[in-house]
Structure 1
Amino acid sequence: MAADTIKDHPGERRLVKIRVWLAVVAMILMTAGLVARMFYLQVQRYDELATQSEDNRIHLRTVPPIRGLIYDAKGRLLAENRPSYTLTIIRERVKNMDETLSELSELVDLDPDDIDDFKERVYKTRPFNSVPLKYRLNEEEIARVSVNHHRLPGVNVEAQLIRFYPERKTLAHAIGYVGRINDKELRKLDASLYSGTNIIGKTGVERYYESILLGKPGYQEVESNARGRILRVLKQVDPVPGTDLHLYLDLDLQKAAMEALKGKRGAVVALDPKTGGVLALASTPSYDTNSFVTGIGYKEFNSLRDNINRPLFNRATLGEYPPASTIKPFVAMAALDSETVKSDYRIFDRGYYQLPGDKHRYRNWKRTGDGWTDMVRAIARSNDTYFYDIAVKMGIDTIHDYMTRFQLGQRTGLDIASERPGLMPSRAWKRAARGRPWYPGETVISGIGQGYMLATPLQLATATAIIANRGGIVAPRLAKPGPGVAPKVPMGRIDKTPEDWETVIKGMREVVDNPRGTAHRRIGRKLKYTVAGKTGTAQVVGIPQDIKEEEAQVLEEFQKDHGLFIAFAPIENPQIALAVIIENDSSAAVGVARKVMDAWLLPRLGPLEKPALAKKGVL
């Protein structure tokens, strides 16, 4: 056998021993390194890493409260909460937000507006709180997200309660709506109260009573896995639900008012004179409040905002209109109480009024005049000349003082998110606002509710309720007293003699009952209850005195006069006081008021009244 085939056993043993020792040394070094690392992590950094580990496994999750419900006077739901499936994301669980949103766009129909809104909100939300990306998922979208859930950490489909308005357009301007919290609101809010919720009351009752409708959030201490999926709830503090609201509003009457206003630009405000409760508050055209709850698209919002008929505008509380001749009963009361004239004061109306030493003629609406006219006839006929005369005798500052007692030219304090004050001018106001003196001719036209005077339908309804109460002042109110809603504070009286009230009310009754009354043909026939009312026509643009009537008729629609009507009924025991404004239609307000009063009063006629009315052939 050749020598080179003989094995070197001693050499091989030495080589094996070296390799073994090297392996042992390597294992010792590696073990030492692991021990050192474990010592560093488990001992030196124990407190820090234990906290981080616990945060990854256990975290607090906000539980939003259930928003309070809103009911009408008969307990019918006007605003409720309905379950809906929402696509949400917890940003701390997402490695790459843009990639996640891109993948979700392939599974769910996402509007660019939804994505932009989500990106604005996601980094302003508290850690580990879910942020809604899309509301109201359908079954197919839920299924697609669920199948792909394993590759979408931080993405969840959650069941949430979403605000819903069953009556949609009917109560839009009274109830209002909720919507997503914007940046401006976010800076002012108490973050602890709004953690876990993304909505807030935006308009109407929803906004005014936000603090009591909201409730208080609770929280859950939950254990989750590395993907963010909740494994179990370790501790829970239940949220406090919002307080329910019960309103004076009557849904049937509200529907009747909206139906009467159908196809018109206008408003109706109806009050219970005894309580001040708002029975109906309608403004048309209207809009579907449900569109705003989860965020309205730019295209849909722009179509509402740019609509020439202004459906988003609440004419009942924000519309400021010249009160026109509806101011005359209040001017008459001012003249009587200030002892400017007595109830039997009369003038001879030639169809115009002139200031002493002035050639300008302030015309009556009836060019030939009404002849001898006293206060009752002046109200019934809406005689301008009579009220020019007593306005000049009183002076603008006296008129201003009395009109403010009737709550005109100031906010009524209605529990709604937005209300404008109107305007009741005075010498001091004009000097401050315009830097000019007050002129006698401005006092003349103030007597018939023109010039600088502006009033909202709500103010006119409130002032009418004061006459219905023979001087008792009521504060209009939407919500009934209850938890979170303070009882109303009595507002006192306008102290005048009973005879003065009856003089003015007699004139208002003849507006309706007298064949020559300005509302008789449109409301007074076959009337089943007594009504005291007053018509008004407010000019939108000035028309020269010498213009022909047929020329005035060709004015553009939005230049035509507004029609107004105020009324209360029944006169003996008032149950409703209302104001109606119809834009650019001087003849429709009376008919709208009749339909609203019929809807409220006819079902309430007493058993003794109905047989008598039937005998007269009116039932």
Structure 2
Amino acid sequence: MKQHFPLKNVQQEKRLFRSRIFIAIGLVVLCFSALIARYVYLQIFHHQEFSTASDNNRIRLQPLAPARGYIYDRNGILLADNYPVFTATLTKADVEDIDSTVKALMPILDLTEDDVDRFNSRIKTAKKTERVTLKLNLNESEIAKFSEVKYKFPGVKIETQMTRYYPYGELFAHVIGYVGRINDKELKTINKDVYAGTNLIGKIGVEKSYEDLLHGTPGNESVEADAHGNVLRYLGRKDPARGNDLYLSLDYGLQTVASEQLAGRRGAIVAMDPNTGEILAMVSSPSFNPNLFVSGISSKDYSGLRDNLDQPLYNRALQGVYPPGSTIKPVEGLGGINYGVIDWSTKISDPGYFHLPGDSHKFRDWKKTGHGIVDLNKAIQESCDTYFYILASQMGIEHMNEWMRQFGFGSKTGIDLPNESSGLYPSPEWKMRTRKSKWLRGETISVSIGQGAFTATPIQLAMATSIVSNQGNHVVPHVLSNTKGSKPFPIRNAPDGRVTFTGTENDWLKMREAMVNVINSGTGRGIRTSAYQIAGKTGTAQVKSIAQGKKYNESILTERQLDHGLFVGFAPADNPQIAIAVILENGRHGGAAAQLARPVFDYWMVKRKNNPIRPMVHQVTGSLMTAGIQPGQLPSGQSILQPSTNAAVNKEKKATKPQSSASAPSTSNSASQADISE
């Protein structure tokens, strides 16, 4: 039996087909409407926002680090130069896995753990498109190895950057200082926009004091880059502004002469213009090579400097605190006149010792038999301790403290260099605050000859000597003489006040005459000259205390237990142009320090005008590269660097600080043997 199916309903199928078509068309229209709406939303209402985002992916604003300003001496000799080096950099935006990339680059670029640590610190705070340095100063081998595998490291580039070079190495190290890689602590305080793209910052010396002037103003360039960070074209550029050039008051020739005097010895020499406060020379010996620090000193090299018994990193001129010995007697004598305790006719009879009323303890003079009848002139000329013992006992520690502080003792001089020590001029208040005990009368006696707790720095001694030489005008030591660039900076080359003095101008002149007598016929007669007149004062500072009743015996002392030798002076005496302070550690007596000052005086007063010392480097364009001098090399034929500090003394187990090791002052302290062989 056949089954019959109903005939198709054509009309119904057409209606269904048309419905489906309308629905499909509706969906298409709806989708196109949504697409158009989204297009309108993106292209019209948010055009600027997304256009900027697109440009940021394609166009980058890369910082351009400024070159540091040059540093010159007073004669235009270049002391701090810039030169280009090859540097490996990485951009955060172009590297997906920074850690693995750096790890892969370690054997290729010979990266050390220090390099990686410095990079990791900087990359954390860097902007997305900022180029961060992986390693400075790449050599040819490292560049060649990277070139072979460059395609594996998108976002890593080899480019040139400017770095610092100090052509005279150790000669100016403690004054100019050095630059080094920016560390974590500095990253927290610097303006990251100002230092974008910059790796180096001043660490010590002039480089640190005048960082704001030397650094300059960064620029930028706009570039179009592909997805791999490769630059397709340059769109615009704002050039960076180089930092100010600094002209220091230092004289290359005088610095060389002063350095040669201290070669192989420990000590410091400071020379300054007593009328303006300009530092003419500042040498601390031994010294170090600042170029080691620029691109990152190795742990081995740094340990060698840090652990060296002679402490080459220690700036003795600014930080070394020493008992000043008898060098302060001219200042103290003027103090006695100021307070009416003595005048130029006041005389004493010196038996070779002094004791306080009611106390049997003897404070001995350096001359065992005494100096006989002594007035102030003779007391300065022969450095009579007994005269100043008596003066101090009558003046009192309060007046002494008040007077000596006017000459800069006990406080920083204000020199435009960092890390200056203040020294110490003791007082009863100081002792009670720090040692919880009362001031003893014997301590006043010790302080009167620059011993006991009294300490001073060479720069303080130079400033005090300048004030004596210019009859009471207070000058502030400074090394910056002039600056050239876009950032103006005021420089004061004049006294900023006067010492309050109740005496007369004639008293200053008589003290000058007494100091001339020191050189002509007194304790400093070994450096007298007929070419010009020197006024000066020698001093000896004990390192090892000598007990009451004991004799000073050099034969039983080690080399580092011998007395320090000191000297201060100025020339010419009637119209001072230069004031000098010298400390010769373990030099035994002040006469040895005076011998070091004489060539410095001679160069400035006689030889400088007709036969100035100049470096054997062609200084025309402001770069050593033009003279064919390569970084790390010194011009041949010069003997201006300090000798190696790896002397036999390094075999000793303990380092000694460059200051007195005398015991705390008391009524039986070290004053009994001060100024031996002065």
Please, what TM-score do these two structures have when normalized by structure 1? 0.88
Which of 557, 560, 569 lines up with 1:558 in the alignment? 560
Structure 1 residues 44 and 478: CA distance shift in structure 2, 3 A:
same
Distance 1:234 1:594 in 2: 63
Structure-2 separation of matches of 1:546 and 1:40: 106
Question: In the alignment, which residue of structure 2 is the partner of 1:23?
Answer: none
Map 1:145-544 to 2 at 5 A: 145-482=146-483, 484-488=488-492, 490-494=495-499, 495=501, 496-514=503-521, 517-521=522-526, 523-524=527-528, 526-544=529-547
Shift of 1:431: 2.7
Task: State the alpha-carbon separation in 1 of the partners of residues 149 and 198 from structure 2.
Answer: 26
In 2, Cα distance between the equivalents of 1:93 and 1:34?
37
Tell whether the 8 Å contact from 2:473 to 2:495 is kept in structure 1 after alignment.
no
Residues 397-456 of structure 1 show CA distances to partners (whole Å, capped at 9, x for unaligned) of 111111111112111111111211111122232233333222211111111011111111
Provide the residue aligned with 1:86 in structure 2: 87
Q: Which residue of 2 aligns with 1:9?
A: none
One-letter code aligned to 1:168: G
**Of 481-490 and 428-437, the range deviating more from structure 2:** 481-490
SS at structure 1 position matched to 2:180: strand
Correspondence for 1:568: 570
Partner of 1:3: none
Stretch deviating more after TM superposition (134-143 or 377-386) = 134-143
* CA RMSD of superposed structures (Å): 2.5
The alignment status of 1:595 with 2:599, answered yes or no, reads: yes
Code of the aligned partner of 2:489: V
How big is the shift at 1:502?
A: 2.2
Distance in 1 (alpha carbons) for counterparts of 2:588 and 2:36? 91
Q: 1:134 to 1:344 in 2, by over 3 A?
A: same
Q: Shift in Å at residue 503 of structure 1? A: 2.2
Deviation larger for 46-55 or 419-428? 46-55
Aligned partners of 1:286, 1:397: CA distance in 2, in Å? 39
Give a deviation string over 1:364-395, Cα, whole Å, max 9, x none.
01111111111111111111101101111111
Q: Deviations over 1:273-316 (max 9, x none)?
A: 12111000110111111111111122211211111111111110
The amino acid that maps onto 1:457 is P
Q: In 1, distance between residues paired with 2:458 and 2:105?
A: 50
- For residues 199 and 563 of structure 2, the distance between their equivalents in structure 1, rounded to whole angstroms, comes to 44
Match of 2:615 in 1: none
Distance in structure 1 (CA, Å) of the matches to 2:205 and 2:598: 27
**Structure 1 residues 583 and 435: CA distance shift in structure 2, 3 A:** same
Task: Tell me, yes or no, if the aligned pair for 1:208 and 1:417 is still in contact at 8 Å.
Answer: yes
Deviations 1:576-604 (A, max 9, x none): 10101111222431121112112211225
For residues 152 and 41 of structure 2, the distance between their equivalents in structure 1, rounded to whole angstroms, comes to 36
SS at match of 1:171: helix
Q: What is the letter of the counterpart of residue 445 of structure 2?
A: V
- Aligned with 1:68: secondary structure? coil
Map Cα deviations across residues 30-72 of structure 1 (whole Å, 9 max, x no partner): x999989987986666757654432221111111111111110
Asked if the contact 1:479/1:485 (under 8 Å) is kept, the reply is: no
Q: Whole-Å Cα distance in 2 between the matches of residues 218 and 428 of structure 1?
A: 55
C-alpha separation in 1, matches of 2:433 and 2:426 = 11
Return the alpha-carbon distance in structure 1 between the equivalents of residues 33 and 132 of structure 2: 43
Unaligned runs of 5+ in 1: 1-27, 608-619
The whole-number CA distance in structure 2 between the counterparts of 1:191 and 1:147 is 34
Q: Which deviates further from its counterpart, 185-194 or 361-370?
A: 185-194
Alpha-carbon spacing, 1:104–1:604, altered in 2? closer, same or farther (3 Å)? closer
Cα separation, 1, equivalents of 2:191 and 2:174: 27
Contact 1:564 1:586 in 2 (8 A): no
Structure 1 residues 32 and 254: alpha-carbon distance in aligned structure 2, compared to 1, 3 A threshold: farther
Size of the alignment, in residue pairs? 576
Provide the rounded CA distance (Å) in 2 between the counterparts of 1:460 and 1:542.
23
1:393 is matched by which residue type in structure 2? Q
User: Is the 2:64–2:240 Cα contact (8 Å) retained in structure 1?
Assistant: yes
2:135 corresponding residue in structure 1: 134
Preserved contact between residue 279 and residue 477 of structure 2 (Cα < 8 Å)? yes
Counterpart Cα distance in 2 of 1:487 and 1:113 = 40
Paired letter, 1:553 = S
Q: Which amino acid aligns with 1:599?
A: Y
Work out whether residues 41 and 49 of structure 1, in 8 Å CA contact, stay in contact via their aligned partners in 2: no
Deviation at 1:79, TM superposition (A): 0.8
Which residue identity is paired with 2:95? V
Q: Which segments of 5 or more consecutive residues in structure 2 lack a partner in the other structure?
A: 1-24, 612-678
Q: Which amino acid aligns with 1:538?
A: A
Aligned match of 1:611: none
TM-score using structure 2 length: 0.81
1:158 counterpart SS class: strand
Tell me the residue number matched to 1:5: none
The one-letter amino acid paired with 2:601 is: M
Note closer, same or farther for the CA distance 1:45–1:603 as it changes in structure 2 (3 Å cut). Answer: same
Conserved? CA contact 2:276–2:495, under 8 Å: no
Contact kept in structure 1, 2:392 and 2:400, CA below 8 Å? yes
Give CA-to-partner distance per residue, 1:149-206, whole Å, 9 cap, x none.
2221011111111011111111111011111111111111122211111211111111
> Partners in 2 of 1:37 and 1:319 — Cα distance?
80
Is 2:582 aligned against 1:580? yes
Deviation at 1:463, TM superposition (A): 0.6
In the aligned structure 1, how far is the partner of 2:83 from the partner of 2:292?
15
Contact preservation (8 Å) 2:539, 2:567? yes
CA distance in 2, matches of 1:527, 1:253: 21
- Larger relative contact order (Cα-Cα within 8 Å, sequence gap ≥ 6): 2
Task: Tell whether the 8 Å contact from 2:344 to 2:376 is kept in structure 1 after alignment.
Answer: yes
Residues in 1 aligned to 2:443 and 2:33: alpha-carbon distance in whole angstroms: 96
Deviations 1:461-505 (A, max 9, x none): 001011111222211110014453313163222244122112222
SS where residue 169 of structure 1 aligns?
helix
